[in-house]
Structure 1
Amino acid sequence: MNYVLRASPTWLCGDELDVFDSVTKSALEAITNVKIDGITWAQASLPVSSGGLGIRRVAELATPAYLASVHATSSLVSAITTGTESYDLALQMWQAAAGAELPPEILRRTQKVWDKALVQKTVEVIKNTFSNDVTHCARLLAVEQPESGKWLNALPVPSLGTLMSDESFRVAVGLRIGAPICNPHLCIDCRLPVDEYGHHGLSCKNSAGRFIRHSSLNEVIRRSLVTANTPAVLEPRGTSDVNDRRPDGVSQLPWRNGRRLAWDVTCVDTVALSNVVSSSIKAGEAARKAEDEKRRKYEYMAHEYEFAPLAFETFGVSSPACMKFLRELGARLKNATGERRSFEFLLQRLSIEIQRGNALSVTSTVPRSDGLNAVYFVL
């Protein structure tokens, strides 16, 4: 389809492009089991790097693809024909839609350059739509961060642990694009109201997903350290203080400067009442605050261990210290395995575990029944 967009003036066939996009949207709704309409479709069609799902609308790509192709083949085309009517019209349509200045001459052969202005325009429209809603503002800022969409780039391979269940994928998609994922109800654990977006489950203290997510993240870190030739153990003995506080894991061998590594993981809710205001102003603020709390909590270990506070958010953002540690761990994995994409794969695994925990946290708030067990139960 991209070849067709680049090789012909498809932007003249607006109705046909809209029909194609409508079919794409219907297929996306069927696959994800999420109702996608209006503003959620606008976000879903953005690139992953801009907070979308990467399912692009051909109606939006038509002019960037054509303009980039014209500039990339200008020398050959000028030798064949002198007509510029189609190009001029396409340029006018692009300027009307993007409201931006023309890209530099040297970059005009790149489709991404033309497309970027349209993407930014769409992002502005979405943010203006939710400008008075701090929850959606915090969500939009979070999903724009590079690490938040890593689960969308992972190959679904069961043997690698990167295959998400249908329900986990459905909830992850709904949370990312701000689509309804459940009917309003009362949380079965704490009896507080849960809206159609299911955000309550992400911060409910009784949610089962919080503990499973915490354990899964720690296990990914431990396995990565072992692969990087730094054996580590979880819940180590002999490292607690007078208040019985101890980190989630400790390496068995020195990590840096002859000191062993100690780490502690936390995953805070981006849109929790205590975090949503700061998260709507700057992405990652909830994780940064959690990182500071971890440093204070384990300051007694600073003289003996290299402590790494690993703070994540439910919408995928990581704290600065966490990203610094993961980059170093990714570099060590690359040296140990020879795989150049080790850091990327590590981020994907962590991102997937966060989404799985989110899905379980959201679905565990829904009242549960006995199912068929009650039918076959005989006293």
Structure 2
Amino acid sequence: MLDGNVPEDVCPALYGASLIALLKKTEGIRPIAIGNTLRRLGGKIVSKRVMEATVALQWYFDDATLGGDFELVSRDFQTIVEIGASLGLELNTSKCEFVVCGGAPTQQQVTRQKMKLLCPGVIFPDKETLTILGAPVFPEAIPPVLEKKIQQAELMTTRLQNISAYQALFLLKNCLSLPKLLYILRRSPTFSCLPSLQAFDETIRKCAGKIANIAMDDTVWRQSSLPVSRGVLGIRRVDELALPAFLASVHSAFDLMKQIYPQVDVNSTASDKPLAGRKFRTASHSHSPISAEGLSVRRHSRHSALNDSLHRALISCKVPNVLEPNGILRDDQKRPDGLTLIPWQQGKALVWDVTCVDTLAETYLRGSAGQLGYAANKAEELKRHKYRELDGRYLFCPVAFETFGPFGNEASSLIQQIGKRIAEATGETRSLSFLKQKLSTDIQRGKAASVFGTFSSHRGLEEIYYIVDVNNRDF
């Protein structure tokens, strides 16, 4: 920095300042910026933080956010007060907000008391009311912010009826609908509050119907949300764009986020595993007219196909086996899915039982959101408990899959062993990959059968699908 140039890793933290100046009196560093005195103050704190690789400060004009432990925040706060006074700036403590995250309630209370002494008049907002530059910080604050936006939209849309229809429609599309909420969509995970987003869309829908003087039913509203290039209004729905907008914002700020929180390894996630989402994709719930309940329906064809694939794979590695063997009954007279006729390991025959669980089931939804294969692993635990009386006589292995593709831990281990034995028996090094692809195809076909099973009998496709000719602009 001594030659006046800002390193690339420091430049984003200084909010774009690419040049700095060296103060002769204090030998300090300040960014060169015209019309923003506060950059000198922010540069003193941020430059030091970047050097220590613990950047936790955001600065936007006269709004600053300090982060870290209490000692670090208090030291930076005192620096702001002292340097601000030398610049002729006085901190308005009645507008300062302080939030304690983590720790026991008693520790949080002690920290608040310390902050009261350091900053008299500081505000301690709740998670439901905390916002930064108008965007909610915690998930609890998202519904109140969206509710306020809905009330503003209702007020503004009622006033559009006082001007001409063309002007009102132009303002509704380009100012009062999606653009009014896009900043919140990009800053916060609002897609988790789908009812509030749908309420906002309903407000825009009613207003558009009144302006156009038509009955804005579901079909017309769907047409209106298509792009303008297709000859329609192009009023985008916020419930459909909430997730893409947030993901785009996260991706654009990814490099800066790694500088602010270098201790968080965002790449070490469960989704990096090779089997994560193999050959499967899903749309958000609002895109599909079909409920996810169809995936929970048990399909005998899928169960039989998975068992048949395992049966053939074991035969390929020279291990004879039978499906639904006789003589191995539980107390409820139910049999496992398969049994090898020769020992598999430790002098014991292999017994397996296959199941395919719904990733989106309410029982597994919360766990599946944070861990890959959570539902399959839970299903394997239940299977092992059900067949616990077979332990000691046989080598029992539960084989669980999910409708979205992941395999359970025990299923992955068994398939790995089978693929290795097939490669040794046939000399085909890709045997394991072929086996995984075959099982994934069986799951995908079963999922398609489950979804189509939710349809009732219809004579024509027009009763199931709404088909639009994109080449015809007269619809």
Name the TM-score, length of structure 2 as normaliser. Answer: 0.41
Give 1:296's aligned residue: 385
Q: Residues 293 and 337 (structure 1 numbering): CA distance in 2 closer, same or farther, change over 3 Å? A: same
Do the aligned residues in 2 keep the contact of 1:149 with 1:351 (CA within 8 Å)?
A: no
Superposed CA deviations along residues 177-213 of structure 1, whole A, max 9, x for unmatched, are 54767425xxxxxxxxx2xxxx111113xx5xx2211
| Equivalent residue in structure 2 for 1:183, among 289, 312, 315 | 289
The residue correspondences of 1:311-350 to structure 2 (distance < 5 A) are 311-350=400-439
Mark the runs of 5 or more structure 2 residues left unpaired by the alignment. Answer: 1-239, 260-264, 462-475
1:101–1:270 Cα change, 3 Å: closer
2:399 corresponds to which of 310, 315, 318: 310
Q: Which residue pairs with 2:450 in the alignment?
A: 361
In structure 2, C-alpha distance between the alignment counterparts of 1:245 and 1:227, rounded to whole Å: 28
Specify which of 337, 345, 364 is matched with residue 256 of structure 1: 345
User: Which stretches of structure 1, 4 residues or longer, exceed 3 Å deviation after superposition?
Assistant: 37-45, 96-102, 141-145, 148-151, 177-182
| 1:91-138 deviations in Å (ceiling 9; x for gaps) | xxx9x8744889xxxxxxxxxxxxxxxxx99x99xxxxxxxxxxxxxx
- Residue identity matched to 2:293: H
Worse-superposed segment, 264-273 or 251-260: 251-260
**CA distance 1:44–1:238, shift in 2 (3 Å):** farther
Shift of the alpha carbon at 1:288? Answer: 1.2
State the secondary structure of the residue aligned to 2:378: helix
What is the CA–CA distance in structure 1 between the aligned matches of 2:244 and 2:375, rounded to whole Å? 28
TM-score normalised to structure 1 length: 0.50
- Shift of residue 38, structure 1, vs aligned partner: 5.8
8 Å CA contact 1:233, 1:250 repeated in 2: yes
Aligned partner of 1:200 in structure 2 is: 293
State the one-letter code of the partner of 2:294.
G
Alpha-carbon displacement from aligned partner over 1:131-189 (angstroms, at most 9, x marks no partner):
xxxxxxxxxx88654224444xxxxxxxxxxxxxxxxxxxx54x2x54767425xxxxx
Deviation at 1:216, TM superposition (A): 0.8
Asked whether the 8 Å contact 2:276–2:372 carries over to 1, the reply is no
Q: Number of residue pairs matched?
A: 217
Distance verdict in 2 for CA 1:275–1:335, change over 3 Å: same
Match of 1:213 among 302, 308, 325: 302
Greater Rg over alpha carbons, structure? 2
**Is contact 1:143-1:316 (8 Å) kept?**
no
Q: CA deviation at 1:241?
A: 2.5
Go from structure 1 to structure 2 and tell me whether the alpha carbon gap of 1:351 and 1:178 turns closer, same or farther (over 3 Å shift): farther
Matched letter for residue 275 of structure 2: E
CA RMSD of aligned residues (A): 3.5
More helix by share: 1
Identity percentage over the alignment? 38
The 3 A distance-change label for structure 1 pair 367 and 235 is: same
User: Secondary structure in 2 aligned to 1:261?
Assistant: strand
SS at match of 2:275: helix
Aligned 8 A contact 1:217 1:350 in 2: yes
Report what 2:30 is aligned to: none
Q: 1:101 to 1:41 in 2, by over 3 A?
A: closer
Aligned equivalent of 1:285 = 374
Gaps of 5+ in 1: 1-36, 46-59, 61-93, 103-119, 125-140, 152-171, 185-193, 373-379
Distance 1:253 1:43 in 2: 55
The residue that corresponds to 1:226 in the other structure is 315
Please name the residue that 2:131 is paired with.
none
